[in-house]
Amino acid sequence: MARRSAPLLRRLVSASSPPALQPLPGHGGGLARRTVTYMPRPGDGTPRAVTLIPGDGIGPLVTGAVQQVMEAMHAPVYFETYDVHGDMPTVPPAVIESIRRNKVCIKGGLATPVGGGVSSLNMQLRKELDLYASLVHCSNLPGLPTRHEGVDIVVIRENTEGEYSGLEHEVVPGVVESLKVITKFCSERIAKYAFEYAYLNNRKKVTAVHKANIMKLADGLFLESCREVASKYPSIQYNEMIVDNCSMQLVSKPEQFDVMVTPNLYGNLVANTAAGIVGGTGIMPGGNVGQDYAVFEQGASAGNVGNENIVEQKKANPVALLLSSAMMLRHLQFPSFADRLETAVKRVVAEGTYRTKDLGGTSTTQEVTDAVIASLD
């Protein structure tokens, strides 16, 4: 058969292109961006109430950025704002009632006294609302150079028991017992959540992080629960890793991890380590979810209230909470708004003109926020 010339082949390929790839009138001659549509139920566009807790330190700055971007997008949400601070003895009942009513909350960091003082209000929220699963998504952002590329890790941590049970007492002066509580019920449900997340998001592997070589009963029960759940998901690879080895593997070869499921304390350490690998806590989104309620906040806890200089100079990084608010929009079944917001944030980070100090820039929170608003499609 005679060989076809290159121009003829190009014409044949062009003629056989699917309609979605052809330039459309009214689109500037560009390619049409058409995907399978999201089909809402009647009434899904009704604006939703969201409980907002600005919090301490940089909290008001970054939650203010979220409010501005939501308003600029005309997102179908409105906020019920409550003034809560970490030195309060308890979370005010009105705040708990608001979250129960709205089922969704977004918050800035709440300062937790170190050593003495009141107990953590973050933990009070998680226990009161049974927000048993914490999720932090640690991944490389385009245009932001880091030591490792190809990192895309989701850390899912049990959020209500373990070392965070708060069961401590002084046996005799100078001797303190702190109880680590692990139950089969909580271990099974966090394992189920991790595997369900992996299944629904086309993730290929779940790694259980533990210290069962030493804590044979407590972490042994956690591992036993993970193994039982893993057997019900044969299409998802399952492996286990001791937490100290996991820490070393995270900083040397983080691309090997996909979804990680952990008890409470290990998950806090692993999530903050993973965040540091891909650019810091200022860009890591996250949230806490239970059967009925969800609270979205900056994913990695280290430095979540910032320091006085950042607050005074108004140079807090709003990226983490903006991406968390995109997660919130998806949770509320507003995927188009979530995509617009996430795309705009990533575009600003990739362009590099407006970055806060933690990302190597000099921009203020407001400058980054304005850049995100200008980048909205």
Q: Kindly state whether residue 171 falls inside one of the protein's structural domains.
A: yes
pLDDT bin (cut points 50, 70, 90) of residue 302 is low
- Same domain for 271 and 164: yes
One domain, residues 77 and 196: no
CA distances in angstroms from 126 to 91, 115, 120, 161, listed in the order given: 11, 20, 10, 10
State the Cα–Cα distance between residues 265 and 247, nearest whole angstrom. 13
If asked whether residues 164 and 83 sit together in one domain, one would say: no
Q: Is the domain of 339 the same as that of 253?
A: no
DSSP SS3 for 239: strand
CA 340 to chain CA mean position, Å: 17
The predicted structure's pLDDT at residue 134: 95
The yes-or-no verdict on residue 311 having pLDDT over 70 is yes
Could you tell me if 90 and 162 lie in one domain?
no
The answer on pLDDT for 38 being more than 80 is no
Say if residue 153 is in the same domain as residue 274.
yes
Q: Into how many domains does the chain fold? A: 2
| CATH number, position 58 | 3.40.718.10
In a domain, 252, yes or no: yes
Nearest to 58 by CA among 317, 272, 324: 317
pLDDT tens figures, 110-168: 988 776 555 789 889 999 999 999 999 999 999 999 999 999 999 999 999 988 777 88
On whether residue 140 sits in a domain, the answer given is: no
Kindly state the percentage of the chain with pLDDT values over 90. Answer: 77
The residue behind tokens 């040397």 is 252
142 part of a folded domain = no
Final residue in a domain of this structure, among 256, 278, 300: 278
Q: 226 with 267, same domain?
A: yes
Find, among 268, 235, 255, the residue nearest to 123 by Cα: 268
Residue 141, domain member (yes or no): no
Phi, psi of 315 (to 5 degrees): -120, 35
Query: Of 61, 180, 157, nearest to 109 (Cα)?
Result: 61
Nearest by Cα to 92 from 63, 130, 61, 51 = 51
DSSP annotation of 36 reads P
SS3 32: coil
User: For residue 23, is it within any domain?
Assistant: no
Q: Does residue 295 sit in the same domain as residue 265?
A: no
Rounded to a whole number of angstroms, the CA Rg of the chain reads 23
Cβ atoms of 182 and 225 closer than 8 Å: no
Structure tokens at 188: 């099974």
Angle between helices 243-252 and 264-277 (to 10 degrees): 10
End-of-domain residue from the set 244, 260, 278? 278
Confidence of residue 29 (pLDDT cuts 50, 70, 90): very low
> How far are the Cα atoms of 40, 113, 273 from residue 117, in angstroms, in the given order?
48, 6, 27
In a domain, residue 340? The reply is yes
Q: Is 90 exceeded by the pLDDT of residue 169?
A: no
d(CA 309, CA 61): 13
Query: Among residues of the chain, what percentage have pLDDT more than 70?
Result: 89
Residue 292: which domain range? 44-132+285-376
Could you tell me the pLDDT band of residue 33, with boundaries at 50, 70 and 90?
Answer: low
Q: Would residue 16 count as lying in a domain?
A: no
